Amino acid sequence: EKAPEQPPETEAESPTGLTRRQFFGTTASSAVVGAGLAAGSWPLSSSPARAAEGKQDAHVAPGELDTYYGFWSAGQSGELRIMGVPSMRELLRIPVFNWDGATGWGITNESRKILYEGLTPAGKRRADKQGGVLRNGDTHHPHLSLTEGSYDGRYCFINDKANSRVARIRLDIMKTDKIVQIPNAQAVHGVRPQKHPKTGYLFCNCEFMIPQPNDGRDMDSPDKYQTVFAGVDSDTMEVKWQVLVDGNLDNTNCDYKGRYAFSTCYNSENAAHLAGMMRKDRDHVVVFDIPRIEEAVKKGRYKTIGDSDVPVVDGTKGSDLTMYIPVPKGPHGINTTPDGKYFVANGKLSPTVTVVEIDKLDAYFRGAMKNPREAVVAEPELGLGPLHTTYDGRGNAYTTLFIDSRIAKWNIQEAIEAFQGGDTNPIKQKLDVHYQPGHNNATLAETKDADGKWLVSLQKFSKDRFLNVGPLKPENDQLIDISGDKMRIVHDGPTFSEPHDCVMARADQVNPRKIWSRDDPWFDDIKAQAKADGISDLTKANKVVRDGNQVRVYMTSSAPNYHITELRVQEGDEVTVALTNVDNIEDLTHGFTLTNFDVAMEISPQQTSSVTFTADEPGVHWYYCQWFCHALHMEMRGRMIVEKA
Ligand code: CUK
Ligand code: CUA
């Protein structure tokens, strides 16, 4: 992003003698002070005098439950986080593309299979060089599966910009169960589940342009680089097709009818350096006609690229599969209104957002619209650095202004009237946020059920809002009451590196299990192995099976015991430990940590986890339960005795 313009750091630098802290004030109510000082950028419409603020209580008392589940991405931490809203309490971290010592993600056989099997051939070569998994990820966009425009509680999807992957998280067990790496791509950025009739496709924007195939050709001809838009089948997590486009894809969204997806595009110049990316004054939004793309694939109008067999259709300018709508330079977020009528492309480098009427797109694809700009119905100027927009379901939109450190609340209908020449000012309020907001999202605003209760604004900088923890500071996620006419900040929430985006679902729309079901397909592989070893029920098995130099240990645990406490193997054996927690009491999780072997895993109630390692050091090696489970938790351990070969 562009370097933000900052209010003065110190009194000495400040022409008014005010520091940033005084300048912005520490609460929403002192925003009025900021208004007087920030010359020219305060909205003209409303007087600062008391429009009614929402009066919702954000306090969730001890023992009380939140009313919304929040799903937060975690940027370069590579995980997904579950938050309670409105308390903003962090409830869980779900490892996705990262390693996690608490749950054994990246260590257990179950997770390593998920992390490996969906990689491209090049991804597998990379993983093979470093122990079988890729180690980092960069998650930006968590989105939940929908049925007919409402959350259906099945899945959360999330992208990995760093290694070009997308993942699916099962919401019944809150575990990642599928990961696919997108071929012909670098940096999968925007992702969006189809809203209608159900998800359906997961639409994926591949951001960076590369030679196609990227095998050493055309490296010095950036004008030949291309990127793709991908349709992933969310039931199988297979890439069904890709569409070659002009320009860099950024964020994506789709309609509520199942026909169109649309993506913002920056760098329509196809340049490889920043200066070149700024040459033109316009970029574009690409609209994808999904049924036509499917038809083209069916009719064989595609090619394949390199070692990938994914059908790739041509959606570059002039194609009948796509529509290019020119918009001001560098559009970023793209957000569909909950009524399904419009999408808003956020200007980023332009102070405007572009409102497109989705029903008008048909005319273009029918050939009845010459200039794609005819689909634009409003382009209000909101302030500096508009990045993302969300909605309250009452006709208002809320746009983050990155450079201004504000959120602009504006009315969509009034913006349309103003575009037609009316003299309405659609801007209702600008609220200072602290500081430099990226995404914002309101409760249920990504669905047709937007309820206009809470808005969360995710700030990239926290600066002075919290105790100083050194040069690396937390982000700041602010909770804003939008139930009244005026927005009101009610909570500051520090988060670590770096949630970009979040979505919120009503608590009743997500229904995770309390303990595992023994029928869960998660256990299929280890059950099959056990069966081959003569074990029909893992919850009853405490048995060591030797098969050449492979040793398989089937073990159960119940607080505070492992049911095998002495395990004898030979130096050089390849040992698999499959541990089943037979406790069926809610929250009674055990673990298995093998000291000095870099082995650890979680075993929640009724779960089986397995791990494979080589017993390469003769001697005594204690294993212990790392999840505090019982008064005798410290005593819950056993010995692996490795006899010299
Ligand atoms: S992007 Cu991060 S602030 Cu990756 Cu959704 Cu806009
Ligand atoms: Cu089992 Cu601690």
Q: Which tens digit of pLDDT belongs to each residue from 211-257?
A: 999 999 999 999 999 999 999 999 999 999 999 999 999 999 999 99
Q: Give the atom of ligand 2 at the shortest distance from the alpha carbon of 590.
A: 1
Q: How many CA atoms within 13 Å lie on the side-chain side of 405?
A: 27
Place of tokens 């409303």: 46
Q: Are 446 and 503 in contact (CB under 8 A)?
A: yes
* Mean pLDDT value across residues 618-626: 98
Q: Is 439 in the pocket of ligand 1 (CB under 6 A)?
A: yes
* Sequence letter at residue 427: I
Q: Give the atom of ligand 1 at the shortest distance from the alpha carbon of 438.
A: 3
pTM of the model: 0.92
Closest ligand to C-alpha of residue 630 is: 2
Environment class of 549 (CB within 10 Å of its CB; exposed 0-12, middle 13-18, buried 19+):
middle
Distance CA(166)–CA(179), nearest Å, equals: 6
Distance CA(544)–CA(52), nearest Å, equals: 69
Q: Give the atom of ligand 2 at the shortest distance from the alpha carbon of 559.
A: 1
**Looking at the predicted structure, is the pLDDT value of residue 287 above 60?**
yes
**Looking at the predicted structure, is the pLDDT value of residue 641 above 70?**
yes
As given in the structure block, the two tokens for residue 463 are 């600066």
Q: Are 230 and 179 in contact (CB under 8 A)?
A: no
Q: What is the pLDDT of residue 26?
A: 44
In the reported structure, the alpha carbon of residue 629 is separated from the centroid of ligand 2 by a whole-number distance in angstroms of 4
Q: Give the atom of ligand 1 at the shortest distance from the alpha carbon of 140.
A: 4
Nearest CA to ligand 1 atom 3: 438
**Looking at the predicted structure, is the pLDDT value of residue 341 above 70?**
yes
Q: Strands across the sheet with 175-181, in order? A: 143-147, 150-160, 165-170, 175-181
Closest ligand to C-alpha of residue 632 is: 2
* Closest C-alpha among 443, 412, 409, 439 to residue 427: 409
Using DSSP's 3-state secondary structure scheme, residue 218 falls into coil
In the reported structure, the alpha carbon of residue 564 is separated from the centroid of ligand 2 by a whole-number distance in angstroms of 14
Taking CA atoms, 518 is separated from 201, 383, 644, in Å, by 30, 55, 38
Q: What is the pLDDT of residues 412-454, one digit of tens each?
A: 999 999 999 999 999 999 999 999 999 999 999 999 999 999 9
Q: Give 190's contacts (C-beta < 8 A, 6+ positions apart).
A: 140, 141, 159, 203, 204, 205, 249, 250, 251, 252, 253, 263, 264, 334
Q: What is the pLDDT of residue 530?
A: 98
Nearest CA to ligand 2 atom 1: 590
As given in the structure block, the two tokens for residue 573 are 């054996």
Q: Give the atom of ligand 2 at the shortest distance from the alpha carbon of 557.
A: 1
For 380-407, letters b (16+ CB in 10 Å) and e give bbbbbbbbbbbbbbeebbbbbbbbbbbb
- When pLDDT is cut at 50, 70 and 90, the band that residue 21 belongs to is low
In the reported structure, the alpha carbon of residue 634 is separated from the centroid of ligand 2 by a whole-number distance in angstroms of 8
CB atoms near residue 121 (< 10 Å)? 12
* Mean pLDDT value across residues 295-322: 97
As given in the structure block, the two tokens for residue 214 are 């990227």
Q: Give the atom of ligand 1 at the shortest distance from the alpha carbon of 402.
A: 3
Mutate-to-test residue for ligand 1 from 140, 208, 250, highest number of ligand atoms within 8 A of CB: 140
Residues found in the chain? 645
**Looking at the predicted structure, is the pLDDT value of residue 27 above 90?**
no
In the reported structure, the alpha carbon of residue 73 is separated from the centroid of ligand 1 by a whole-number distance in angstroms of 10
**DSSP of 494-512, one letter per residue?**
EESS----EEEEEGGG---
Which letter does DSSP use for residue 181 in this model? Answer: E
Reported ipTM: the value is 0.97
Q: Give the atom of ligand 1 at the shortest distance from the alpha carbon of 333.
A: 6
Cis peptide before 311 (omega within 30 of 0): no
**Looking at the predicted structure, is the pLDDT value of residue 45 above 80?**
no
* Mean pLDDT value across residues 18-25: 50
- When pLDDT is cut at 50, 70 and 90, the band that residue 268 belongs to is confident
In the reported structure, the alpha carbon of residue 563 is separated from the centroid of ligand 1 by a whole-number distance in angstroms of 49
Q: What is the pLDDT of residue 279?
A: 87
Q: What is the pLDDT of residue 369?
A: 97
Distance CA(351)–CA(410), nearest Å, equals: 14
* Closest C-alpha among 555, 624, 554, 559 to residue 585: 559
- When pLDDT is cut at 50, 70 and 90, the band that residue 278 belongs to is confident
For the chain, how many helices (H) and strands (E)? 9, 39
Q: What is the pLDDT of residue 275?
A: 87
Q: What is the pLDDT of residues 368-399, one digit of tens each?
A: 999 999 999 999 999 999 999 999 999 999 99
* Sequence letter at residue 200: G
Q: Are 138 and 152 in contact (CB under 8 A)?
A: no
Q: Is 387 in the pocket of ligand 1 (CB under 6 A)?
A: yes
- When pLDDT is cut at 50, 70 and 90, the band that residue 277 belongs to is confident
In the reported structure, the alpha carbon of residue 134 is separated from the centroid of ligand 1 by a whole-number distance in angstroms of 23
Binding-site annotation, residues for Cu cation: 140-141, 189, 332, 388, 439, 500, 590, 625, 627, 629, 633, 636
Q: Give the atom of ligand 1 at the shortest distance from the alpha carbon of 388.
A: 6
In the reported structure, the alpha carbon of residue 593 is separated from the centroid of ligand 2 by a whole-number distance in angstroms of 10
Q: Give the atom of ligand 2 at the shortest distance from the alpha carbon of 591.
A: 1
Nearest CA to ligand 1 atom 2: 500
CA geometry: angle at 331 spanning 329 and 332, to 5°? 150
Q: Give the atom of ligand 2 at the shortest distance from the alpha carbon of 627.
A: 2
Distance CA(255)–CA(196), nearest Å, equals: 8
Q: What is the mean pLDDT of the chain?
A: 93
Greatest alpha-carbon span in the chain: 87
* Sequence letter at residue 591: G
- When pLDDT is cut at 50, 70 and 90, the band that residue 270 belongs to is confident
Q: What is the pLDDT of residue 7?
A: 47
Could you give the percent of the chain with pLDDT greater than 70? 92
Q: What is the pLDDT of residue 269?
A: 86
Closest ligand to C-alpha of residue 140 is: 1
Q: What is the pLDDT of residues 116-142, one digit of tens each?
A: 999 999 999 999 999 999 999 999 999
Q: Is 501 in the pocket of ligand 1 (CB under 6 A)?
A: yes
Q: Give 119's contacts (C-beta < 8 A, 6+ positions apart).
A: 126, 127, 134, 165, 181
In the reported structure, the alpha carbon of residue 483 is separated from the centroid of ligand 2 by a whole-number distance in angstroms of 45
Distance CA(439)–CA(499), nearest Å, equals: 9
Q: What is the pLDDT of residues 526-539, one digit of tens each?
A: 999 999 999 999 99
Q: What is the pLDDT of residue 34?
A: 38
Q: Is 140 in the pocket of ligand 1 (CB under 6 A)?
A: yes
Q: What is the pLDDT of residue 19?
A: 53
For every residue of 105-155, which 3-state class applies, written as one string? ECCCHHHHHHHHHCCCHHHHHHHHHCCCCCCCCCECCCEEEEECCEEEEEE
Mutate-to-test residue for ligand 1 from 388, 389, 401, highest number of ligand atoms within 8 A of CB: 388
In the reported structure, the alpha carbon of residue 377 is separated from the centroid of ligand 1 by a whole-number distance in angstroms of 25
Q: Is 333 in the pocket of ligand 1 (CB under 6 A)?
A: yes
Closest ligand to C-alpha of residue 387 is: 1
In the reported structure, the alpha carbon of residue 75 is separated from the centroid of ligand 1 by a whole-number distance in angstroms of 9
In the reported structure, the alpha carbon of residue 150 is separated from the centroid of ligand 1 by a whole-number distance in angstroms of 23
Cα 569 to the center of its chain, rounded Å: 43
Q: What is the pLDDT of residue 18?
A: 52
Using DSSP's 3-state secondary structure scheme, residue 316 falls into coil
Q: Are 533 and 544 in contact (CB under 8 A)?
A: no
Q: Is 189 in the pocket of ligand 1 (CB under 6 A)?
A: yes
Cα 488 to the center of its chain, rounded Å: 26
In the reported structure, the alpha carbon of residue 419 is separated from the centroid of ligand 1 by a whole-number distance in angstroms of 28
* Closest C-alpha among 334, 455, 430, 590 to residue 51: 430
Ligand 2 neighbours (beta carbon < 6 A): 559-560, 590, 625, 627-629, 633, 636
Closest ligand to C-alpha of residue 631 is: 2
Closest ligand to C-alpha of residue 162 is: 1
In the reported structure, the alpha carbon of residue 564 is separated from the centroid of ligand 1 by a whole-number distance in angstroms of 49
Could you give the percent of the chain with pLDDT greater than 90? 89
Closest ligand to C-alpha of residue 637 is: 2
Q: What is the pLDDT of residue 617?
A: 96
